[in-house]
Amino acid sequence: MEKETTIAVDLGNTLVKIAYFINSELGRVEKWSWSEFIQNEELINKLKNFQGICSSVLSEDQNMQLQDLLPKLVFMNENTKLPFKVDYKTPQTLGKDRLCNAVAGFYGAKNQNVLIIDVGTCIKYDFLSMDGTYHGGAISPGIHLRYKSLNDYTAKLPLIDNTDEVQLIGKSTIEAIHSGVMNGMKAEIIQIIEQYQCKYESLTIFVTGGDAIYFDLHSKNNIFANKNLTLEGLFQIYLFNVQ
């Protein structure tokens, strides 16, 4: 049986992520900076052979540049069909990554209520009801935004990096910042999960995003961690639109 490769390309603010789906199964994922990606002629020549889809938050000039290089790619836009109803007051402002996560959750949960939590630059919460309706959710600052805001809006608090070694009681200013940011985020996420669980039965929860590793959420019941959820949702959108 001949192998068919389809690509899903996620053009983010910091990374270009490329997922290779071989006979509709996720194979590998590559990550590049935009400058590394666009200058890699060998990679571009390889990708020209593949059909696929692209989701982008980059500039129109960058998108046009990629379209010229990879003409077989379909770009996700406001006309792209989705497998569920969107009940959102401002759908034109809805991030493509949130929609991709929602699609992955929609297919992964199999007619259940679904909460998707994406822990990255921001923490994004997205909810779909079991009748196949996307309702929206919430957005709050992620780890680095919280650290940066403490440094930006105070005179003496230092700018520090995240850590997985966090105490409840900080014995220094740096330890206190770590405790406030990391324990505060964990408390926020757990409390929001509990609110959804109280309101909706048969709730399946998916957790994704680069900073989700700091919170050990997947050890709880009905919570599934998937670092490639956005790319898998993007691929499902491609299948839904070409079939």
Asked if residues 111 and 157 have their Cβ atoms less than 8 Å apart, the reply is no
The reported pLDDT for the residue numbered 7 is 96
Q: Could you report the per-residue pLDDT of 47-84, keeping only the tens digit for each?
A: 998 999 999 988 888 889 999 999 999 999 888 999 99
Q: Which helix (H) or strand (E) holds 51?
A: strand 51-56
User: Which of 1-15, 23-37, 112-126, 177-191 comes out lowest in average pLDDT?
Assistant: 1-15
Provide the pLDDT for residue 101: 96
What is the average pLDDT across 187-208? 94
How far is Cα of residue 191 from the mean position of the Cα atoms in its chain?
21
Could you tell me which of 193, 242, 230 has the C-alpha nearest to residue 105? 230
Model pLDDT for residues 198-220, shown as the tens digit of each residue:
999 899 999 999 888 888 876 66
Q: What angle do CA 83, 90, 227 make, to 5 degrees?
A: 55
Q: State residue 58's pLDDT score.
A: 84
Residue 12's pLDDT band, with cuts at 50, 70 and 90, is confident
| Share above pLDDT 70 across residues of the chain, in percent, rounded to a whole number | 97
Residues of the chain above pLDDT 90, percent: 77
Q: Which of 97, 126, 131, 164 is catalytic?
A: 97
CA angle 38–61–72, rounded 5-degree value: 60
pLDDT of residue 219: 62
pLDDT over 80 (residue 131): yes
Per-residue pLDDT at 163? 73
Q: Which two tokens stand for residue 239?
A: 């299948």
Question: Mean pLDDT, to the nearest integer, of 23-44?
Answer: 94
| Span(s) in the chain for CATH 3.30.420.40 | 5-75, 85-143+173-242
Q: Is the pLDDT of residue 171 over 60?
A: yes
* Nearest-angstrom CA–CA distance, 215 and 120: 12
The verdict on whether 97 is a catalytic residue reads: yes
What average pLDDT does the structure give for the chain?
92
Query: Quick check: 208 and 227 in contact, CB under 8 A?
Result: yes
Per-residue pLDDT at 220: 67
Superfamily of domain 5-75: ATPase, nucleotide binding domain (3.30.420.40)
**Across residues 166-184, what is the average pLDDT?**
93
**Whether residue 2 has pLDDT greater than 60:** no
Containing 17, the helix (H) or strand (E) segment is strand 16-22
Neighbour count for residue 220 (Cβ, 10 Å): 11
pLDDT for residue 57: 84
Per CATH, the homologous superfamily of domain 85-143+173-242 is ATPase, nucleotide binding domain (3.30.420.40)
Q: Are 18 and 73 in contact (CB under 8 A)?
A: no
What pLDDT, on the 0 to 100 scale, is given for residue 230?
A: 95
